[in-house]
């Protein structure tokens, strides 16, 4: 009887465990299906497309070309020929993909540090129980959830030749009467300005949450040791924010390499190719020139670049974020 009771109990537990497992998977299923349909399948299809030549017609018209798309986008023969003649920067100054890659890297190297600095400064300034702090947090966060089209249209107006920003610059004695988005030098800085302004509020919220977790005892001990505000910031606040900075930098780098909407709305990659980015270049190849195979190959190159950068960052996590 005892053995029978134990066996019956085990069967009931087994049924209960299976039921709980099915319930758990039922909660996971919608998210997994969404990921599979909208992310996994398109990525796998894009990998396949990178090895074929296709103009978007019938699938029967696809032509397998192997690595030809990759060889075409890099223009290996001409690049090697120019390199042998001493033109070491031909790829980054003449080849469209090289220019797009150079612009994207420059945009990333400038935007990420500026956004981090502005976000930390805002978080520290608003991490105080002062009147209006909550309102200012909301104001700075609002651009992140506002319409990107509306934001870019407003900034295009403000960055016009006779716009308010140029009026202010000239009012302080700096002669500048060019439209930012129409100047080959200033256009990318306009993109950077808008990106930093839009995103710093979001990362400010993340840093505010991190600042709440910094032990007050550390500041009290630093004060007892005679540390001033700057020394407390450098020796207490910054070290405590390293894990948050590590997370924010990864998210921003990935976001910067995928930049599209701001460029497409404000400059369309111009003037010339001064703001041509990797994703806008992929869009042009795919939907303007109708070369889906080559566009998919470039997308795979972008995927590898982001993957390598992420791996490098994670490999340095222990040294940077947890020391």
DSSP, residue by residue, 225-289 = TT--HHHHIIIIIHHHTHHHHHHHHHHHHHHHHT--HHHHHHTTT-STTTT--HHHHHHIIIIIS
Q: Tell me the per-residue pLDDT of 152-203, one tens digit each, with 9 for 90 and over.
A: 999 999 999 888 888 988 888 888 888 899 888 999 999 999 999 999 999 9
Nearest to 265 by CA among 93, 149, 112, 127: 149
Please count the CA atoms within 13 angstroms of the CA of 153 that sit on its side-chain side.
Answer: 5
Q: C-alpha distances in angstroms, 69 versus 40, 72, 279, 287, 295?
A: 22, 5, 17, 16, 9
Residue with token string 């608003």: 126
What's the confidence (pLDDT) of residue 323?
A: 57
Query: What's the predicted TM-score (pTM) here?
Result: 0.84
What's the confidence (pLDDT) of residue 105?
A: 92
| Measured distance CA(119)–CA(245) in Å, rounded | 10
Helix (H) or strand (E) holding 109: helix 96-126
- DSSP assignment of 41-85 equals HHHHHHHHHTTEE--SS-GGG-EE-TTHHHHHHHTHHHHHHHHHT
What's the confidence (pLDDT) of residue 150?
A: 92
What's the confidence (pLDDT) of residue 318?
A: 66
If you ran DSSP here, which 8-state letter would residue 141 be given? H
| Measured distance CA(215)–CA(314) in Å, rounded | 26
What's the confidence (pLDDT) of residue 38?
A: 86
Low-confidence stretches of the chain (pLDDT beneath 50): 1-2, 6
In degrees rounded to 5, what are phi and psi of residue 52?
-130, 170
| Measured distance CA(101)–CA(8) in Å, rounded | 66
Residue with token string 């010339």: 272
Number of helices and strands in the chain (H, E):
18, 2
| Measured distance CA(176)–CA(173) in Å, rounded | 9
Please count the CA atoms within 13 angstroms of the CA of 126 that sit on its side-chain side.
Answer: 25
């Amino acid at each position: 009887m005892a053995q029978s009771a134990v066996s019956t109990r085990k069967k009931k537990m087994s049924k209960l465990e299976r039921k709980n497992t099915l319930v758990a998977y039922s909660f996971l299923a919608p998210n997994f299906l969404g990921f599979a349909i909208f992310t996994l399948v398109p990525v796998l299809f894009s990998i396949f497309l990178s090895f074929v030549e296709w103009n978007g017609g019938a699938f029967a018209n696809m032509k397998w070309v192997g690595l030809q798309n990759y060889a075409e986008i890099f223009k290996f023969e001409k690049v090697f020929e120019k390199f042998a003649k001493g033109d070491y920067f031909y790829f980054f100054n003449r080849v469209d993909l090289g220019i797009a890659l150079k612009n994207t890297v420059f945009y990333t190297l400038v935007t990420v540090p500026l956004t981090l600095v502005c976000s930390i400064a805002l978080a520290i300034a608003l991490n105080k129980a002062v009147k209006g702090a909550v309102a200012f947090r909301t104001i700075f966060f609002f651009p992140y959830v506002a319409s990107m089209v509306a934001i870019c249209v407003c900034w295009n107006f403000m960055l016009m030749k006779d716009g308010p920003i140029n009026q202010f610059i000239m009012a302080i004695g700096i002669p500048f009467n060019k439209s930012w988005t129409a100047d080959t030098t200033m256009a990318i800085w306009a993109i950077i300005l808008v990106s930093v302004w839009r995103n710093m509020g979001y990362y400010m919220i993340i840093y505010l949450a991190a600042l709440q977790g910094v032990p007050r005892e550390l500041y009290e001990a630093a004060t007892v040791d005679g540390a001033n505000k700057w020394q407390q910031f450098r020796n207490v606040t910054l070290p405590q924010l390293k894990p948050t900075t590590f997370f924010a930098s990864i998210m921003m780098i990935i976001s910067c390499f995928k930049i599209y909407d701001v460029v497409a709305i404000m400059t369309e990659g111009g003037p010339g190719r001064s703001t041509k980015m990797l994703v806008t270049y992929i869009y042009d190849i795919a939907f303007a020139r109708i070369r889906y195979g080559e566009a998919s190959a470039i997308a795979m190159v972008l995927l590898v670049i982001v993957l390598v950068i992420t791996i490098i960052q994670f490999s340095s996590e222990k040294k940077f974020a947890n020391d």
